A = this chain, B = another copy of it.
Amino acid sequence: MKILVQIDFPYSGSFGAEMAAAFTPLAESIAQERGLIWKMWTENSETNEAGGIYLFEDKSSAETYLKMHTARLESFGVRDIRAKFFTLNEPLSHITRAPV
């Protein structure tokens, strides 16, 4: 079953184009992760937060990724990481045009 992972955390780095330039190699690496269908990169320069919405093929891939990614974020100095796993309600998501 596909798993949606929702992650957010306080973030004091760069945003927008500058963030994109800084994290392009990381994004290219994440794109290769086993079981990853896609990741949306989220940011809010007003509240100083960032995160991601991910869709994985299965729970095992999501758990393996989250463990690795949490350790990586902490190595960058990120704290207070909030991560939640969900499944998608596909009939309702279909009605509201979700691209899933």
Contact = CB atoms under 8 A, between A and B. Distances in A.
A8 interface: yes
A6 B92 contact: no
A80 interface: no
A64 interface: no
B95 A28 contact: yes
Q: How large is the interface on A (under 10, 10 to 19, 20 to 34, 35 or more residues)?
A: 35 or more
Contacts of A37: 97
B87 A42 contact: yes
Interface string A18-48: 0110011001101100001111111110010
Interface string A83-94: 011111111110
A19 B51 contact: no
Contact of A24 (B8, B40, B95): B95
